Structure 1
Amino acid sequence: MTTPPRQLPYAPTPYSYLPNPALTATISLDEEVKLSTTAAQRDLYDSLAEIYSIIITLDGLEKAYIRDSVPESEYTELCGRLLNQYKSILKDDTVSREFVDLDSFKSKWDIECPRATERLRVNLPATIAEPSATHSGPSNNTPQSRLSATGSQILLATENFITFLDALRLHMFSKDSLHPLLSEVIQSVNQVTTTDFENRGKIISWLIRLNGMKATEELGEEEARQLTFDLEGAYAGFKATLN
């Protein structure tokens, strides 16, 4: 009688396997693994962790604001603080190089946070960027939508418009020169009126555009001319709301 052939196992059995000393682990499995070996690396990872935390927190804050779970004043303060912290951390060149940009960072760490992404893109709290959409009260198409602004608030908004336009005439075209001034314009304007006046949207559009630039990056001559034209139109629209 013929003996059937011996059935081989599905996977080879390593009876003759001998461990390679070169591949043997040289550390104890109980030893703590450190992400950084220098103080500079530790500071970098701490900063990136802070950015991650800010993005997650900001997204949660935006959701709470949409659900009306947080008062407008509290939202504005917290959102502004988070945005400032985000910008401050990224001023470090080492952190900025590792961060690359927001989309790259989100992809690397597998996060979405669409509401935080939009807020970081605009770089303004929703109560400032879109006051007419969040302010309760009469229709924004009526004169009553103007807040009970004081003379000093109106004067401040007017001065901020003039200061920004003067900066353009003096050829101050860099982001770090224009963005803070334009932010002051929209914030002071919102203290005066919630009316969606002519060319108000241009202010927000230019804020977003400037926010996407590097700090030392400058507008070209044609861009600066267009910005001047748009802000002069916004200034005229703002003054029309005061009549």
Structure 2
Amino acid sequence: MTTLSQSFILAAFLAFCRVGACLMLMPGLSSIRLPMQIRLFAAVAVTVGLLAFLWDNIYPHVDMRPAIFVPMIFSELLVGALIGTLTRLYMEALRFIGAAIAMLIGYGGVGGPAIEEPEPQAALAALISFAALMLLFALNFHHEVIRALVASYKVAPVNVFFSGQASLVDVTDTLSEAFLLVLRLGSPFVAYAILVNLAIGFVNKLTPQIPIYFISLPFVIAGGLILFYFAVPTLLSLFGDGFIETTLAR
């Protein structure tokens, strides 16, 4: 094998490290419902498709010496994992507020099978997370992730080692923005739960002989589902806008 062919293989492997680590954590493609072979072939296909555009950013920096090439592999894996993690944090925040919404309206009893994750999840939370994931793919967010991978070679070149401090700042900012966003999206349900439970508590104090809480539970759930019916389009729309504008713009 010639030196040129070895350099070509090593450059392709470096690109695969960044792309594969990103797709490994990216929402949707990282789901356990997706067979491992499909995820692997998707990462290889994206790597081959992007290699022509990234050749000038990768090939000149390839060094076959193990003392230099091995740290480059770890750096590329960490950069790709950071990009995938930033996109995934928003989905985890949405799952959190979905479980909170189900609990606030009294519909979060026994957890059912989740669609994307292996852990049991409330039916309402699974519906919200799956609908948001479908909306993101309909908005071509996977194209934006690929665009972010291409742009990352200007921000984090191959010949520069992964910066832990800058990555922690990005993760902290993304966590803050994500949970503030989903808290605003779930605020109507928080207000509904406070008002309804406060009213039920007052009524229960006025008539202690009647188990008002158990009698009112079906009405609380019905009211929460009606509120969810009218609020879910706006909730998903605002989540999609916030995801595209903040996460992928980073």
Higher relative contact order (CA 8 A, sep 6+): 2
Whose helix proportion is higher, 1 or 2?
2
- The TM-score with structure 2 as length reference comes to 0.25
Q: TM-score, normalised by structure 1?
A: 0.26
Structure number with larger C-alpha Rg: 1
